[in-house]
Structure 1
Amino acid sequence: MLNALTRKSQLDHMSKFEYDLLIIGGGITGAGIALDASKRGLNVALVEMQDFSQGTSSRSTKLIHGGLRYLKQMQVNVVKETGRERAIVYENGPHVTTPEWMLLPFHKGGTFGEFTTSLGLKVYDSLAGVDKNERRNMLTKKEVIERVPNIKTDGLKGGGHYVEYKTDDARLTIEVMKKAAAYGADAVNYVKADGFLYENGIVTGISAKDMLSGDVYQIKSKAVVNASGPWVDEVRGNDVAAKQQTKKHLVHTKGVHIVFKQEDFPLTQAIYFDTKDDGRMIFAIPRAGKTYVGTTDTFYGEDKSNPTAEAEDKAYLIDAINFMFPTLNADVSMIESSWAGIRPLIQSSGSKNASDISRKDEIWHSTSGLITIAGGKLTGYRHMAEEIVDDVADYLKKHFKMNVKKVSTIDEPVSGGDVGGSVGYQNYVENISRKAPSYGLTLEEGFHLAMKYGSNVETVYQYAGITNDNHEKYELPKLLYAEVIYGMLHEMVIKPSDFFVRRSGKLYFEINDVLNYRKGVEQLLQDTLSYDDNARQQYAEELDAAIQDTKR
Structure 2
Amino acid sequence: MSDVKPIVREDMLAQLREDVLWDVVVIGGGATGTGIAVDAASRGLKVVLLEAQDFSAGTSSRSTKLIHGGVRYMKNPRDWGLVREALKERRLLIQNAPHLVHSKPFILPCYKKWEREFYTVGLGIYAAMTYGGYGIGRTSSLSREETMSRLPGVKAEGLMGGVQFYDGQFDDARLAVALMRTAHDQGALTLNYMPVTGIEYRGGWIQSVTATDKETGEEFRIRTKMVFNAAGAWVDPIRRMVDPEASTLVQVSRGSHILLDKSFMPGETGMLIPKTRDGRVLFAIPWHEMLLVGTTDVEQREADFDPKVSDEEIDFMIETASGYLDKPITRADVKATFAGLRPLFNPQATGSAGGTAKVSREHAVLPEFGNMITVTGGKWTAYRKMAEHAMTEATLRHLVAPRLCVTKTLPILNDETWDPAALEVEAERSDAADDKVVAYALYCREFEAARTAEDVLFRRLRLGQMNEARTNELLPKVRAAFAGEAQVEKEVAAVVAATEAAEPVEAKAEAAVEAPETVEKVEAAEVVEAVEAVEAEKDGKAEK
Q: TM-score category by the smaller chain?
A: 0.7 to 0.9
Partner residue, 1:491: 448
| Structure 1 residues 95 and 452: alpha-carbon distance in aligned structure 2, compared to 1, 3 A threshold | farther
CA drift of 1:333 comes to 1.8
State whether residues 65 and 164 of structure 1, in contact with CA within 8 Å, keep that contact through their aligned partners in structure 2: yes
Aligned to 1:493, the other structure's residue is in SS state: coil
Counterpart residue identity of residue 123, structure 1: I
> 2-side partners of 1:46 and 1:153: how far apart?
51
Q: Distance in 2 between matches of 1:339 and 1:383?
A: 27
2:178 aligned residue (175, 191, 199): 175
Aligned letter for 2:404?
K
Deviation at 1:73, TM superposition (A): 2.5
**Is this contact kept in 2: 1:21–1:44, CA < 8 A?**
yes
Give yes or no for contact 1:23–1:226 (8 Å, CA) kept in 2. yes
- Deviation sequence 1:205-224 (CA, Å, 0-9, x none): 21111122222111111010
Partner of 1:115: 117
Equivalent residue, structure 2, for 1:365: 367
Moved more, 507-516 or 278-287: 507-516
Match runs of 1:121-270 below 5 Å:
121-129=123-131, 134-240=137-243, 243-244=245-246, 247=247, 249-263=249-263, 266-270=266-270
Q: What is the aligned-residue RMSD (CA, Å)?
A: 2.9
Percent identical: 30
Secondary structure in structure 2 of the residue aligned to 1:42: coil
**1:154-208: per-residue Cα shift (whole Å, max 9, x none)?**
5533211111111110000110111111010001000111121234230022111
The aligned counterpart of 2:273 is: 273
- Residues 66, 128 of structure 1: 8 Å contact kept: no
Q: CA deviation at 1:367?
A: 3.5
Identify if the C-alpha distance between structure 1 residues 359 and 155 changes in structure 2 by more than 3 Å, giving closer, same or farther: farther
Which shifted more, 20-29 or 120-129? 120-129
Q: Provide closer, same or farther for how the CA distance between residues 82 and 524 of structure 1 changes in structure 2, counting only shifts above 3 A.
A: same
Residue 507 of structure 1: aligned partner: 464
Q: What is the deviation of 1:368?
A: 3.0
Are the structure 2 counterparts of residues 99 and 118 from structure 1 closer, same or farther at C-alpha, using a change threshold of 3 Å? same
| Preserved CA contact (<8 Å) 1:2 1:492 | no
Residues 65 and 169 of structure 2 are in contact (CA less than 8 Å); yes or no, is this contact kept in structure 1? yes
Query: Given that residues 206 and 220 in structure 1 are in contact (C-alpha distance below 8 angstroms), is that contact kept between their aligned partners in structure 2?
Result: yes
- Aligned partners of 2:423, 2:44: CA distance in 1, in Å? 29
The residue that corresponds to 2:437 in the other structure is 480
Question: 2 CA distance for matches of 1:367 and 1:516?
Answer: 48
Which residue in 2 is equivalent to 1:412?
A: 410
1:93 aligns with 2:127: no
Aligned counterpart, 1:468: none
CA contact (8 A) 2:87 2:134 kept: no
- What does residue 22 of structure 1 align with? 25
The TM-score normalised by the length of structure 1 is 0.79
CA offset digits 1:328-370 (Å, max 9, x no partner): 2211121010100000011367xxxxxxxx9610111113321
Matched, 1:37 2:2: no
- Residue 423 of structure 2 contacts residue 437 of structure 2 at CA under 8 Å; is this kept in 1? no
User: Does the 8 Å contact 2:53/2:192 carry over to 1?
Assistant: yes
Conserved 8 A contact 1:81-1:128: no
Deviations 1:97-145 (A, max 9, x none): 1211011122327xx9233322222221121336667111111122112
Structure-2 residue corresponding to 1:12:
14
Bigger drift between 23-32 and 9-18 goes to 9-18
User: Does residue 336 of the first structure (1) align with residue 331 of the second (2)?
Assistant: no
| 2:161 aligned counterpart, secondary structure | strand
Task: Tell me what 1:440 maps to.
Answer: none
Letter in 2 for 1:306: D
- SS across alignment from 2:397: helix
Aligned partner of 2:282 in structure 1 is 282
Helix, strand or coil: the match of 1:85?
helix
> Who is 1:403 aligned against?
401
Residue in structure 1 matched with residue 392 of structure 2 by the alignment = 390
Letter in 2 for 1:283: F
> What is the CA–CA distance in structure 2 between the aligned matches of 1:475 and 1:258, rounded to whole Å?
25
Give the letter aligned to residue 189 of structure 1: N
State yes or no: 1:83 paired with 2:87: yes
2: CA distance between counterparts of 1:210 and 1:221?
A: 18
- The answer on 1:312 being equivalent to 2:315 is no
Which position in structure 1 is the counterpart of 2:516?
A: none
Q: What SS does structure 2 have at the residue aligned with 1:380? A: helix
In the alignment, structure 1 residue 345 sits paired with structure 2 residue 344: yes
Distance 1:162 1:495, change over 3 A: same
Measure, in 1, the Cα distance between the counterparts of 2:396 and 2:278. 45
Encode CA deviations 1:223-263: one digit per residue, 9 max, x unaligned: 1010000001111111128x54xx56111110111001123
2:63 corresponds to 1:64: no
**1:527 Cα deviation from its structure 2 partner:** 2.3
- The residue type paired with residue 226 of structure 1 is N
| Rg larger in structure | 2
User: Are the equivalent residues in 2 in contact too, given 1:476–1:520 (CA < 8 A)?
Assistant: no
TM normalised by structure 2 equals 0.80
Q: Take 2:211 and 2:182, find their aligned partners in 1: how far apart are those partners? A: 24
For 1:336 and 1:500, the matched residues in 2 are separated by 15
Q: 2:109 aligns with which of 97, 105, 122?
A: 105
Compared CA separation, residues 54 and 113, structure 1 to 2 (3 A): same
Match for residue 523 of structure 1 among 477, 480, 486 = 480
Query: How many residue pairs end up in the alignment?
Result: 469
The answer on whether the counterparts of 1:232 and 1:372 sit within 8 Å (CA) in structure 2 is yes
Letter in 2 for 1:156: L
Q: 1:322 Cα deviation (Å)? A: 1.8
The residue identity in structure 2 corresponding to 1:371 is I
Q: What is the CA–CA distance in structure 2 between the aligned matches of 1:204 and 1:359, rounded to whole Å?
A: 32
Judge which range, 174-183 or 112-121, deviates more.
112-121
Contact 2:103 2:168 in 1 (8 A): yes
Structure 1 range deviating more: 195-204 or 310-319: 195-204
1:301 is matched with: 301
C-alpha deviation, 1:48, in angstroms = 0.3
CA distance 1:3–1:494, change in 2 (3 Å): farther
Unmatched 5+ residue regions in structure 2?
349-359, 425-430, 491-544
- What is the deviation of 1:406? 1.2
Whole-angstrom CA distance in 1 between matches of 2:459 and 2:136: 33
Correspondence for 1:381 among 377, 380, 383: 383
Alpha-carbon distance in structure 2 between the residues aligned to 1:531 and 1:277? 56
Separation of aligned partners in 1, 2:13 and 2:6: 12
Distance 1:171 1:39 in 2: 20
